[in-house]
Amino acid sequence: MSNSVSPPWHLLPVLTRPGAENMALDEAMSERARDSGVVLARVYGWTRPTLSLGRNQRAAGLYDVEEARHRGVDIVRRPTGGRAVLHWREITYAVAAPENALGTLRQAYGAMNDALVLALRTLGVDAHVANPESRPPRPGPGACFEDPVAGEIVAAGRKLVGSAQHRADGALLQHGSILIDDDQPLANALLVTAQPAPPPAATLRSLMSRAPSLGEFDAAWATAIAERFGHRPCRTALDEALEERARKAAAHYASDGWTWRR
């Protein structure tokens, strides 16, 4: 789609927060994007290892909550779909936009992947979009990074970025994980019934021989957004109104009723 179609992008500060607070802020960004007509984006980290479940993934009775607590792993359910992801040593990104501002679901997903690939290449990672013939997997207990499917970002023949998108109430939210190290086997270790170990995922440490910082990726991504969408994103503070929206949503994402709803 044409760069000129894209509305202004606002890039929020890099933050590290607990899982429920991260999901709540992503939701608050979606509401702000819907109400303001701008695109909001951010790069963030996690204060503790956190297993995130896809919006529609069956999880009740499949994961050992006591084992997770023993291992120091929090569990949340995302507002977006897809399968389970273990967030810890990674770079997480989020983009919220008015629902149709970046085109159809497929167009928006592709455009955002274009920007992510550009950012990764700026860091020296030979990333590209996969084009296998396999279909997206059903949202079962398997880990998100098991197999790349068409449209996902890969490097060295393995999946590097796991992304999910959701559209509702006039807004689009896409967020995803770019692994620095492969913590995904821990997600399988939390299952009540053992599953085969997932194949190793691609990691930034193995591809770059070092671990990039969140800030380093944030800078590369800002440049990539400017190239892909035609104008550099505006650096924007996290204002009190957005924080208040996130505080109100945090209780929802911290509740067992949401996390274990299915």
Residues with a known catalytic role: 144
Backbone angles phi, psi at 256, to 5 degrees: -65, -30
Strand ranges in the chain using DSSP code E only, listed in sequence order:
9-11, 15-17, 39-46, 50-53, 74-77, 85-87, 90-98, 127-129, 153-155, 158-168, 171-179, 234-235
Cα separation, 121 vs 258, in Å, equals 37
Cα separation, 171 vs 159, in Å, equals 27
* 3-class state of residue 171 by DSSP: strand
Backbone angles phi, psi at 172, to 5 degrees: -115, 135
Cα separation, 18 vs 134, in Å, equals 34
Taking the C-alpha atoms of 136, 138, 139 and 143 in order, what is their torsion angle to the nearest 10 degrees? -60
* 3-class state of residue 54 by DSSP: coil
Alpha-carbon distances of 48 from 81, 84, 93, 121, 136, rounded to whole Å: 22, 16, 17, 28, 29
